């Protein structure tokens, strides 16, 4: 049990299981808490009484308080007790310096069992691994354990710090509704059927995007909200169907101002809530093009080097068929250098090749740089100057291994980025005590949706674009750069935002490119488009994923560890058993009938 009583003193002098100190020796006290541990030693019974503030040792002596001692002999872990007694110094040699209350104990004189407890399904006074399903089913017990206690307190402190930071800078916290109309952010909406108007549905917000823009039109020039967002997406390890964002919007700003504000906030949070060293300030800024070029990833982990190197030019005239074909078909050849890996075994190389293939690559070429030669299956097909370009040309020294992929730019980026991360981990290049922040900005505004044959927003459909790129909207929409920026920490996207289109014509033009039919436009975005007609100020904002931020500050690997009541990996609430079937009368009221073929029962 971590003792938090030093970091979390009760301001009002409340007596808790973490508050007693040596200068209170002699005082009569009453403590309430849970039995953390009970030990019977030579007639004395020791109980560690626990609450969220700490632990206090209580001693029952049969000679001094026979009734209390008798009762104490029957209590078990997690019983809730009220103990009356006297504070006294612990005997010489039994002081526990790790505990804030470790210099004292309470001589138990009176004992009341406020409630009993069944034996919990897992031990709460130990930090061992427990099956996550069991933890989630009994989350209220899991939450009593020190790890989650620490994380939930941290989360509270982080959110409080976010509020303080923004309020001190004139931001207003404004709530926006959760029953709204569908706002597209790229995921599927959760729908809520209306009983008043059967056949009609509310949607839960994927984010308060349109509402915060409307607040700008309303003149609340600095808004924030700790906003719950809902996205009905396939679940991944670090996703939840509902999650919390720090949502921000500001009027009269360009990207630089929003990025600067966010950066100062994250510097403050990191310094206050983590001991990790911030790798570089100001946070490095990479354009999307640079991030993809150097790391093959728009959320690069900058805790270590190993950058992608483009060797396409050096290989233009190559007689090695596989490379020549890729290059003439508009593809690329890029490579990374793995330091000291020239002696990797066949098996190790096969493993890396497999990883590249999982990212869509047809294969991966290797060159081992030895003192006397460059060795690898493709070495004999390359000229000396090509070999040189692929080794010394990209910084490979004797003893290093070069991994090269030839494919479309997308596949090259994806596979080399995966290889880079694997190598970083494998070679222990990632310093766990570092926070490497960076901004990635100037994302493409639009990407082509092959299936639907239309352009769609890469981030959100309200992002504005660089003025200088406006002519490209007609000629090459895919090349238009958005005023979009993402904040990245250690390879995780913490959040992002953009400066928006504040003129109706600009926004409509983009909607047209995105292929929304005019009638659908009015239905889905009518309110926002109309509002842009009434003196909408230039504005922009950002939203940061609070779950992920707290996860990284807590040094956890999963956001479920920093959410009081998370869903499991399949999006299920194991404690309440949701989602669940409802009784037919509930469906009747809503005018809904289920398709029996589509119905699933969750076990
Ligand atoms: N609404 C966006 C999101 O949820 C963030 C923003 O652009 O402010 O990702």
Structure tokens at 321: 């068929």
Q: Give CA–CA dist 518/511, Å, rounded.
A: 9
Higher pLDDT, 404 or 5: 404
Q: Is 151 in the pocket of ligand 1 (CB under 6 A)?
A: no
Q: Give CA–CA dist 66/64, Å, rounded.
A: 6
End-to-end Cα, the chain, rounded Å: 35
In this prediction, residue 518 carries a pLDDT of 76
Q: What is the mean pLDDT of residues 18-25?
A: 96
Q: What is the mean pLDDT of residues 430-450?
A: 96
Answer whether 225's CB lies under 8 Å from 208's CB: yes
Q: Is 498 in the pocket of ligand 1 (CB under 6 A)?
A: yes
In this prediction, residue 237 carries a pLDDT of 66
Which protein residue has the closest C-alpha to ligand 1 atom 6? 497
In this prediction, residue 428 carries a pLDDT of 96
pLDDT above 50: residue 322: yes
In this prediction, residue 9 carries a pLDDT of 45
Which protein residue has the closest C-alpha to ligand 1 atom 7? 497
Provide the 8-state DSSP code for 238.
T
In this prediction, residue 12 carries a pLDDT of 62
pLDDT above 80: residue 183: no
Q: pLDDT digit string (tens) for 8-20?
A: 444 466 899 999 9
Kindly report the three-state secondary structure assignment for every residue of 32-49.
EEEEEEEEEECCEEEEEE
The rounded Å distance from CA 494 to ligand 1 centre is 11
Q: Angle at Cα 437 formed by Cα 433 and Cα 440, nearest 5°?
A: 155
Answer whether 528's CB lies under 8 Å from 521's CB: no
Confidence bin at 601 (pLDDT 50/70/90): confident
Residues facing residue 309 across a β-bridge: 335
pTM: 0.93
The rounded Å distance from CA 209 to ligand 1 centre is 6
Q: Give CA–CA dist 65/59, Å, rounded.
A: 10
Q: Is 209 in the pocket of ligand 1 (CB under 6 A)?
A: yes
Confidence bin at 2 (pLDDT 50/70/90): very low
> Which atom of ligand 1 lies at the shortest distance from residue 209's CA?
1
Answer whether 259's CB lies under 8 Å from 439's CB: yes
- Site to substitute for ligand 1 among 180, 484, 497, 549, most atoms within 8 A of C-beta: 497
The rounded Å distance from CA 206 to ligand 1 centre is 9
In this prediction, residue 50 carries a pLDDT of 97
Distance of CA 54 to the CA centre of its chain: 29
- Site to substitute for ligand 1 among 247, 443, 463, most atoms within 8 A of C-beta: 247
Q: Which of 255, 291, 284, 286 is nearest to 467 (CA)?
A: 255
In this prediction, residue 8 carries a pLDDT of 43
Average pLDDT taken over every residue of the chain: 94
pLDDT above 60: residue 504: yes
Q: pLDDT digit string (tens) for 457-496?
A: 998 899 999 999 999 999 999 999 999 999 999 999 999 9
Confidence bin at 355 (pLDDT 50/70/90): very high
Higher pLDDT, 10 or 597: 597
Q: Give the CB-side neighbour count of residue 506, counting CA atoms within 13 A.
A: 19
Q: pLDDT digit string (tens) for 230-248?
A: 999 877 667 899 999 999 9
């Amino acid at each position: 049990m971590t003792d938090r009583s030093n970091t979390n003193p009760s301001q009002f002098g409340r007596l808790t299981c973490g508050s007693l100190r040596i200068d209170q020796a002699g005082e009569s006290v009453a403590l309430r808490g849970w039995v953390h541990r009970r030990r019977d030693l030579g007639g004395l019974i020791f109980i560690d009484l626990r609450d969220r503030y700490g632990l206090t040792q209580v001693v029952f002596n049969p000679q001094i308080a026979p009734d209390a001692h008798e009762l104490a002999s029957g209590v078990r872990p997690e019983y809730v007790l009220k103990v009356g007694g006297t504070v006294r110094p612990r005997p010489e040699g039994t002081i526990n310096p790790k505990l804030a209350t470790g210099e004292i104990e309470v001589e138990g004189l009176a004992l009341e069992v406020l409630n009993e407890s069944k034996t919990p399904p897992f031990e709460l006074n130990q930090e061992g691994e427990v099956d996550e399903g069991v933890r989630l089913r009994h989350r209220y017990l899991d939450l009593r354990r020190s790890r989650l206690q620490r994380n939930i307190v941290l989360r509270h402190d982080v959110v409080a710090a976010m509020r303080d930071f923004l309020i001190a800078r004139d931001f207003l916290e404004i709530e926006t509704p959760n029953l709204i109309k569908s706002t597209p952010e790229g995921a599927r909406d959760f729908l809520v059927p209306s009983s008043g108007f059967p056949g009609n549905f509310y949607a839960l917000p994927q984010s308060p995007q349109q509402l915060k823009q409307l607040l700008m039109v309303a003149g609340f020039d600095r808004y924030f909200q700790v906003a719950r967002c809902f996205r009905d997406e396939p679940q991944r390890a670090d996703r939840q169907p509902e999650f919390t964002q720090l949502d921000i919007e500001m009027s009269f700003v360009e990207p630089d101002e929003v990025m600067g504000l966010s950066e100062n906030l994250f510097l403050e949070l990191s310094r206050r809530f983590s001991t990790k060293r911030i790798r570089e300030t100001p946070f490095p800024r990479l354009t999307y093009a640079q991030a993809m070029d150097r790391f093959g990833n728009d959320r690069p982990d900058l805790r270590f080097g190993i950058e992608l190197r483009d060797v396409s030019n050096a290989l233009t005239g190559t007689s090695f068929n596989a490379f020549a074909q890729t290059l003439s078909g508009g593809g690329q050849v890029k490579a990374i250098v793995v330091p000291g890996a020239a002696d990797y075994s066949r098996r190790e190389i096969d493993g890396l090749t497999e990883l590249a293939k999982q990212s869509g690559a047809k294969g991966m070429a290797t060159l081992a740089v030895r003192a006397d030669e460059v060795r690898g299956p493709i070495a004999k097909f390359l000229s000396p100057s090509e070999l040189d370009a692929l080794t010394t040309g990209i910084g490979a020294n004797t003893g290093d291994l070069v991994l090269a992929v030839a494919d479309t730019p997308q596949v090259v980026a994806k596979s080399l980025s995966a290889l880079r991360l694997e190598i970083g981990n494998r070679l222990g290049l990632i310093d766990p005590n570092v926070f490497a922040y960076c901004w990635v900005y100037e994302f493409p505004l639009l990407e082509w949706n092959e299936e639907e044959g239309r352009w769609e927003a890469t981030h959100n459909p309200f992002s504005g674009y660089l003025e200088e790129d406006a002519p490209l909207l007609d000629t090459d929409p895919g090349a238009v750069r958005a005023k979009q920026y993402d904040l990245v920490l250690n390879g995780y996207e913490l959040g992002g935002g953009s400066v928006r289109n504040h003129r109706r014509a600009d926004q409509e033009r983009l909607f047209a490119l995105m292929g929304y039919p005019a009638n659908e436009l009015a239905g889905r975005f009518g309110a926002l488009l109309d509002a842009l007609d009434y003196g909408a100020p230039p504005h922009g904002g950002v939203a940061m994923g609070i779950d992920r931020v707290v996860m990284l500050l807590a040094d956890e690997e999963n956001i479920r560890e920093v959410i009081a009541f998370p869903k499991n990996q399949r999006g299920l609430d194991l404690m309440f058993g949701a989602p669940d079937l409802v009784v037919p009368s509930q469906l009747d009221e809503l005018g809904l009938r289920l398709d029996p073929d589509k119905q699933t029962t969750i076990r």
